[in-house]
Amino acid sequence: MVSSYEAVIGLEVHAQLHTKSKLFCGCATAYGAPPNAHVCPVCLGLPGALPVPNAEAIALAVRAGLALGCDVATSSRFARKNYFYPDLAKGYQISQFELPLNARGALEVELPSGTKRIGITRIHVEEDAAKNLHGVGAGTDTLVDFNRAGTPLIEIVSEPDLRSAEEAEAYLRKLRDILMFTGVNDGNLEEGSFRCDANVSIRPAGDETLGTRTEIKNVNSFRFVRMAIEHEIARQQAVVEAGGEVVQETRTWSESHHKTRSMRTKEDAHDYRYFPDPDLPPLVVAQARIDAIGAALPELPDAKRTRWRAELGLTEYDAQVLSAHPAVARYFDEVASALCAQAGGAARDEVGKRAANFVQAEILGHVEQAGLDARFPVPAAALAELLRLVERDVINGKIAKRVLSEMIESGEGAEAIVEREGLAQVTDAGAIEAAVRAAIDAHPAQVAQYRAGKTAVLGFFVGQVMKATRGAANPKQVNALLRELLGEP
Ligand code: ADP
Ligand code: MG
Ligand code: ZN
């Protein structure tokens, strides 16, 4: 009887490359079209049709490899993976086997216990299969929709370096982030453009050799991956503790029963009879092209957050929220850089934090996300114009919110709205003093309270003055003057 077990997990992620057309033909990859709207002889697998690789797909796969620290091969090979299934009309899938495009990468994952490096064995290019639609048409028919057939994918295979469901989830989230920020993948789990197979085994704690693994297929949410792995670890442990042996097999996660169940015994690589695809020459990518793709890699989310914290004084939390989606991050960067162009040092921290707060509180709620793109209620430049008015004390933060809703409604610029509606702050000392004196004269009881030490009453007076000036008085001036005229409490 073994006292404790250690779980070992390796993940295979299939990520759709964000291209307009398929991997080996010109058909569109658009999601949600009527069945079999985007098909041709190549992706239907008709005899004699020849594949031609999509240069954009290859460029995105190289970008993924570089972002994940892989060695990118200047020469790799497409191979046929042979199996029979109705969604695979050719009888084989074009994939890569012995010579993948990318190999030997890694991903650093932040865990409660610190940063952990998870090895990436390989990232190869392959085509997706079609989709079987069960129970459609007349009762129990299964029909095949070939729109997805031939869609470009990369498969990212990790080393068996993960030790728990939490680690697996953290790895997947980080991987998805990087692929989205590099524009390689749209990160859409519901539409299946990012899906994961989890390989799970257990072994006595401290053992070096790997135990027999099971593979859980196609789990399509982070939560389900975590639950499926946790369940599978517990199931294997129960099998072993009851004196049994784990069988190498493919299992599926049942969303309705919240457990994994056996699908089939697992194939080994030799069952697929892999061989180089004679229709496709070696995939050659010049080193100069690889270098150019590397030089054009966009800033990755980790680097972005570090920069925001250092240059704009953002908290880790704010940086996380604003970098959750690449379009939001780009928007915030545009607003912040427009505002901070002239500011330096501490002033820049203040401007950065205010922009971060404003974007989170007033903008994120209106953002409509669609894949990698997002629609914002006002352009970044327009928001920067509004926030610059706050920086210059022309309007205060409260008025800024009101101006923003008018900007959203009318599409007008901030300055035009402030001018037309006379919303500029009253900074004229005389006008503010008159309003402050009027508030003090009208409320002798509160004045007495304040002077007796109830300083919270100050807020009441500020409110009175703001009301009298329709919110347009400069709050800093109001506060200072109130304190002066009310005297020491
Ligand atoms: P395939 O599943 O296509 O046969 P591999 O045998 O290369 O491919 O393994 C795929 C994944 O399984 C990799 O992510 C690898 O880290 C993981 N893996 C391999 N052996 C084990 C094991 N004993 N326990 C857990 N994961 C494993
Ligand atoms: Mg596998
Ligand atoms: Zn086609």
Q: Indicate if ligand 1 lies below 6 Å from the C-beta of 213.
A: yes
Q: Are residues 343 and 237 in the same domain?
A: no
Domain edge (last residue) among 289, 322, 357: 289
Domain edge (last residue) among 396, 421, 446: 421
Q: Residue 2 has what pLDDT?
A: 64
Q: Are residues 250 and 317 in the same domain?
A: no
Residue 59 sits at the vertex; the CA angle it makes with 57 and 61, to the nearest 5 degrees, is 70
If we measure between CA atoms, which residue out of 383, 457, 394, 381 comes closest to residue 425? Answer: 394
Q: How many domains does the chain have?
A: 3
- Stretch 239-255: mean pLDDT: 93
Q: Residue 294 has what pLDDT?
A: 98
Q: Are residues 157 and 221 in the same domain?
A: yes
Q: Are residues 162 and 260 in the same domain?
A: yes
Q: Residue 141 has what pLDDT?
A: 86
Which of 95, 199, 250, 274 best tests ligand 1's pocket when mutated (most atoms within 8 Å of CB)?
Answer: 199
Q: Are residues 177 and 44 in the same domain?
A: yes
Q: Are residues 242 and 149 in the same domain?
A: yes
Q: Are residues 276 and 304 in the same domain?
A: no
Q: Are residues 477 and 332 in the same domain?
A: no
31 or 426, which is more confident: 31
Q: Indicate if ligand 1 lies below 6 Å from the C-beta of 16.
A: no
Write the DSSP assignment of 359-400 as a string of letters: IIIIIGGGPEEETTEEE-SS-HHHHHHHHHHHHTTSS-HHHH
Q: What is the pTM of this model?
A: 0.86
Measure the N-to-C terminal CA separation of the chain; round to a whole number of Å: 75
The confidence band for 440, taking pLDDT boundaries of 50, 70 and 90, is very high
Q: From the CA of 176, how far away is ligand 3's center (Å)?
A: 27
- Stretch 269-296: mean pLDDT: 95
Q: Are residues 311 and 279 in the same domain?
A: no
Q: Are residues 148 and 174 in the same domain?
A: yes
Maximum C-alpha span of the chain: 96
- Stretch 165-194: mean pLDDT: 96
Domain span at 480: 429-486
Q: From the CA of 431, how far away is ligand 2's center (Å)?
A: 75
Tokens of 300: 């990755």
The predicted-structure confidence for 304-323, as pLDDT tens digits, reads as follows 999 999 999 999 999 999 99
Rounded to whole angstroms, what are the CA distances from 108 to 120, 158, 347?
10, 12, 33
Phi, psi of 484 (to 5 degrees): -65, -45
Q: Are residues 158 and 122 in the same domain?
A: yes
425 or 335, which is more confident: 335
Q: In CATH, what number is assigned to the domain containing residue 476?
A: 1.10.10.410
Residue 384 has pLDDT above 60, yes or no: yes
The confidence band for 74, taking pLDDT boundaries of 50, 70 and 90, is very high
Rg (CA), the chain: 30
Cβ-contact 109, 127 below 8 angstroms: no
Domain edge (last residue) among 372, 393, 421: 421
The confidence band for 84, taking pLDDT boundaries of 50, 70 and 90, is very high
Q: Indicate if ligand 1 lies below 6 Å from the C-beta of 120.
A: no
Residue 26 has pLDDT above 90, yes or no: yes
Q: Residue 13 has what pLDDT?
A: 97
Q: Residue 1 has what pLDDT?
A: 54
Q: Are residues 187 and 224 in the same domain?
A: yes
The confidence band for 245, taking pLDDT boundaries of 50, 70 and 90, is very high
Q: From the CA of 58, how far away is ligand 3's center (Å)?
A: 17
Average pLDDT, the chain: 93
